[in-house]
Amino acid sequence: MEATFKPGFLKGKIVLITGGATGICYGIALGFLKYGARVCIMSRKLPNIQAAIESLKKESGSSEIYGTTCDVRKLEDIEKAVDYFIEKVGKIDVLINGAAGNFLVPFESMSANAFKTVIEIDLQGTFLVTKVVHAKCLKGRGGSIINISSTLQVCGVALQTHAGAAKAAIDAITRHLAVELGSQGIRVNGIAPGAIDGTAGFEKLTPEGGLSISMKETIPLNRLGKKSDIAECAMFLASDAASYISGQTIIVDGGAVLTFPNF
Ligand code: HXC
């Protein structure tokens, strides 16, 4: 990533990124590290955390990265993980809710448990982690929360009823908490990424046999997204440059929601 922002502009910020060991959230962690923040990541799988810490150190040149396991569906896990980070870094200023699970499934064959699982990871996970971090770190101090959603819920996408429902509700949480927590000096915003190249999510959500149309040609900016596109939006929203922005979910998709047909 080139120096889009002033080097060191995030120095002093302490960021917790759920799902930060892989995909889009790994890219966000890398961006924050490169610009001077201290970064905490959590993920369900220990090997993912260990590998991410090692490669984030190498890629960023920073050693200010901390990680632990956590299933965002479990309140006790979250309490334990947040306590671990507080012990390591003292506090959290910025929470990025990115942990998610997804798969393509037709509505008619989606089991109740399949729907529930994605709602619990994406939506309830966002709620629970926010609750714990607010109580332990943000209340009385202020800070910033960034919820990662998607563009699925904006136009309605086949095979994604479970994830679209969760992401729509996450966008609602962004607005509700922006109103409720604003007087505490807490800004709450969201990012809705489009198709981001090089992520498991993108691979998982491309239908078997591939797409019948060229995505690149359909996207107004004629390219897939990069992880750094999302990282840069997150860094802006977390920074003082966004100090009067709250309650907004920014779509970062090259304009794709305007033109992308369903599959
Ligand atoms: C139909 C499926 C399924 C599939 C799981 N299920 N995969 N149903 N098609 N491909 C059903 C199971 O049968 C089960 O229901 C229920 O979902 C729970 O499945 P488990 O495997 O027991 O759940 P779990 O082990 O907790 O795993 C969660 C997971 C998994 C979401 C299913 O894929 C996961 O851990 N994913 C994390 C990584 C991930 O998905 N990253 C991509 C995020 S991308 P039954 O009824 O059989 O008990 C993203 C981007 C969104 O979110 C925006 C895109 C533009």
User: Which residues, judged by CB distance below 6 Å to any ligand atom, belong to the binding site of ligand 1?
Assistant: 100-103, 105, 111, 113-114, 117-118, 150, 152, 163, 200-201, 204-205
pLDDT at 3: 78
Separation of CA 45 and ligand 1 centre (Å): 15
pLDDT at 205: 83
User: Cα–Cα distance between 199 and 47 in angstroms, integer?
Assistant: 17
Find the helix or strand (DSSP H, E) in which 33 lies. helix 23-34
Which residue's structure tokens are 């239908």? 207
User: Cα–Cα distance between 243 and 239 in angstroms, integer?
Assistant: 7
pLDDT at 209: 66
ipTM of the complex: 0.97
Separation of CA 225 and ligand 1 centre (Å): 23
Residue in 2, 26, 52, 16 with CA at minimum distance from that of residue 196: 26
How far from the centroid of its chain's Cα atoms is residue 156's Cα?
A: 20
Ligand 1, atom 11, lies closest to the CA of 114
Residue in 3, 7, 88 with CA at minimum distance from that of residue 41: 88
pLDDT at 211: 67
Task: Locate 185 and state its tokens.
Answer: 């000096």
Q: What is the pTM of this model?
A: 0.97
Task: Locate 258 and state its tokens.
Answer: 């305007």
Asked if 229 contacts 196 with a C-beta cutoff of 8 angstroms, the reply is yes
Separation of CA 115 and ligand 1 centre (Å): 9
Supply the DSSP string of 89-146, one letter for each residue: HS--SEEEE---------GGG--HHHHHHHIIIIIIHHHHHHHHHIIIIITTT-EEEE
User: Cα–Cα distance between 232 and 33 in angstroms, integer?
Assistant: 12
Asked if 144 contacts 93 with a C-beta cutoff of 8 angstroms, the reply is yes
Can you list the domains of the chain with their CATH numbers?
A: 14-251 (3.40.50.720)
3-state secondary structure 63-90: CCEEEEECCCCCHHHHHHHHHHHHHHHC
User: Cα–Cα distance between 56 and 68 in angstroms, integer?
Assistant: 14
Exposure string of 195-226, with b = 16+ CB inside 10 Å and e = fewer, is bbeebebbeebeeeeeeeeebeebbeeeebbe
Looking at the CA of residue 194, tell me the nearest atom of ligand 1.
Answer: 55
pLDDT at 261: 74
Which residue's structure tokens are 């596109």? 229
Residue-wise pLDDT tens for the chain (263 aa)? 567 899 999 999 999 999 999 999 999 999 999 999 999 999 999 999 999 999 999 999 999 999 999 999 999 999 999 999 999 999 999 999 999 999 999 999 999 999 999 999 999 999 999 999 999 999 999 999 999 999 999 989 999 999 999 999 999 999 999 999 999 999 999 999 999 999 989 888 887 766 666 888 899 999 999 999 999 999 999 999 999 999 999 999 999 999 987 65
Which residue's structure tokens are 């109103």? 179
Asked if 43 contacts 19 with a C-beta cutoff of 8 angstroms, the reply is yes
